[in-house]
Amino acid sequence: MLQPPPAEPGMREEEVDTPALLLDLDAFEHNLDLMARLLEPTGAKLRAHAKTHKSPVIALRQMARGAVGQCTQKVAEAEALAWGGVPDILVSNEVVGARKLARLAALARIAKVALCVDDPAQIAAAEAAAADAGIRLSVLVEIDIGTGRCGVAPGPEAVALAERIAASRHLVFGGLQAYHGSAQHMRTPAQRRAAIAAAADGARRTVEQLRQRGLECPIVGGGGTGTFALEAGSGVYTEIQAGSYCFMDADYARNEEAPPFRQSLFVLATVMSAARPGVAVVDAGHKAVPIDSGMPLVWGRDPDVRYTRASDEHGGLVVAPEARNPPKLGEKLRLVPGHCDPTVDRYDWYVGVRGGRVECLWPVAARGGMA
Ligand code: PLP
Ligand code: MN
């Protein structure tokens, strides 16, 4: 159940109850504008990934700046977006199980809906769900272009699946899903360039083989925050699926030639103990800020104040002896999460701030474990 929000519009940031998910609206809007500006000359369109933000409010702001739609990873995210008025949604993932497929097919009455497959059995299941609902679903073939997650090999296997989709009465062949996840955090630009060059080759070859069989690819989708400029410049990808770019996180900032976006997402925490010299404790442990991609950073205080230890509800800070401004009991600190996506999933509300004041409260509509 949705908790009451930790703030009210007009409050000062220091008055927001903690831990809270804070969104710096100036930085966030800068990021949305910058992505639109960077993609514009490439011809590739943004289909931003909503697994990051889980919010129709944010989705519609991305679309107001030219995004053609949204990606989701789960049916529950697609529902939250469609119910919130998002008109074009690609589940960039395999959807397995009759109940999930029926939920997705039901959404096709209020939004354009597409999903991915990598197996003939999934095509049959999607066809059955679409037929039951009396709608047509757009289906993309996922190809594995280097990540080793889902997807068939580029080339003939993918072509065979596409032909099977095209021959299904209630399905439309939607194109190729070709996301290279493990390239996003490759640390050097040379590694990322090599990975996406190989990915684009696989996608290009598959597009050509499909064309020889008379099948056009309306969408060739992929690209995340770490590599989107490479996919967009490849001439093969038509849609970019970056998600984290709107918030950024400490792990993306560790890439050499890091993505050119500003940190807009924070966990606001309160110093709950400063009883001993050299250390302090905040009320945001790993239940409040995930540590799967490293510890959070203390915004504006690093390296004098470093978050070094997380337990369930406590975050342990180490304070350098020479620190000029050691954390005080009751002080509020902004933490930069190591990984933005799971951070958002821990909160019911975005607390949007501008100029030190709370401006808006947006629900994290698709929060939670439901698939
Ligand atoms: N596309 C797909 C299929 C993904 O799985 C992801 C993230 O895992 C993304 C796009 C977006 O990646 P990022 O948030 O790193 O931009
Ligand atoms: Mn992520």
pLDDT tens readout for residues 241-291: 999 999 999 999 999 999 999 999 999 999 999 999 999 999 999 999 999
pLDDT category of residue 1 using cuts at 50, 70 and 90: low
**117, 184, 185, 227: which to mutate for ligand 1, most atoms within 8 A of CB?**
184
Q: Is the pLDDT of residue 2 over 80?
A: no
pLDDT category of residue 370 using cuts at 50, 70 and 90: confident
pLDDT tens readout for residues 167-212: 999 999 999 999 999 999 999 999 999 999 999 999 999 999 999 9
> Which numbered ligand comes closest to the C-alpha of 339?
2
- Ligand 2 midpoint to CA 263 (Å): 15
Whole-number Å distance between alpha carbons of 315 and 285: 5
> Which numbered ligand comes closest to the C-alpha of 48?
1
**38, 143, 241: which to mutate for ligand 1, most atoms within 8 A of CB?**
241
Whole-number Å distance between alpha carbons of 143 and 163: 15
Count of H-run helices and E-run strands, the chain: 11, 17
**34, 51, 252, 339: which to mutate for ligand 1, most atoms within 8 A of CB?**
51
Pocket of ligand 1 (CB under 6 A): 49, 52, 71, 92, 179, 181, 184, 224-225, 241-245
> How many CA within 13 A on the CB side of residue 134?
1
CB 196 within 8 A of CB 180: yes
pTM: 0.97
Atom of ligand 1 nearest to the CA of 92: 3
Whole-number Å distance between alpha carbons of 158 and 162: 6
Atom of ligand 1 nearest to the CA of 223: 10
C-beta pairs of 162-166 under 8 Å, 24+ apart in sequence: 162/210, 162/213, 162/215, 163/213, 163/215, 164/120, 164/123, 165/117, 165/123, 165/139, 165/141, 166/215
| Domain extent listing, the chain | 13-21+260-363, 43-248
ipTM over 0.95 threshold: yes
Report which of 315, 329, 247 is spatially closest to residue 285, judged by C-alpha positions: 315
Helix (H) or strand (E) holding 157: helix 156-166
pLDDT tens readout for residues 93-113: 999 999 999 999 999 999 999
pLDDT at 371: 83
- Ligand 2 midpoint to CA 313 (Å): 23
Pairing mode, if any, of strands 332-336 and 265-273? antiparallel
How far is residue 247 CA from its own chain's centroid?
A: 9
pLDDT tens readout for residues 307-340: 999 999 999 999 999 999 999 999 999 999 999 9
Q: What class is the 13-21+260-363 domain?
A: mainly beta
φ and ψ at residue 311, rounded to 5 degrees = -115, -175
pLDDT tens readout for residues 39-73: 999 999 999 999 999 999 999 999 999 999 999 99
pLDDT tens readout for residues 102-159: 999 999 999 999 999 999 999 999 999 999 999 999 999 999 999 999 999 999 999 9
Name the residue with the closest Cα to ligand 1, atom 12: 224
Output the CA–CA distances (angstroms, integers) from residue 189 to 42, 181, 249, 262, in the order listed. 19, 15, 18, 19
Kindly give the interhelix angle for 120-133 and 156-166, rounded to the nearest 10 degrees: 20
Q: Which amino acid is at 212?
A: Q
Name the residue with the closest Cα to ligand 1, atom 9: 224
Q: Is the dihedral of CA 62, 64, 69, 75 positive or negative?
A: positive
Q: What class is the 43-248 domain?
A: alpha beta
Whole-number Å distance between alpha carbons of 365 and 258: 29
Name the residue with the closest Cα to ligand 1, atom 1: 241
pLDDT at 201: 98
Whole-number Å distance between alpha carbons of 201 and 210: 14
Whole-number Å distance between alpha carbons of 206 and 203: 5
pLDDT at 368: 83
- Ligand 1 midpoint to CA 131 (Å): 30
Q: Which residues lie at CB < 5 A from ion ligand 2?
A: 341
Residue corresponding to tokens 């020889």: 212
Residues with Cβ within 8 Å of residue 133, at least 6 apart in sequence: 102, 105, 106, 108, 109
Name the residue with the closest Cα to ligand 1, atom 8: 181
- Ligand 2 midpoint to CA 292 (Å): 10
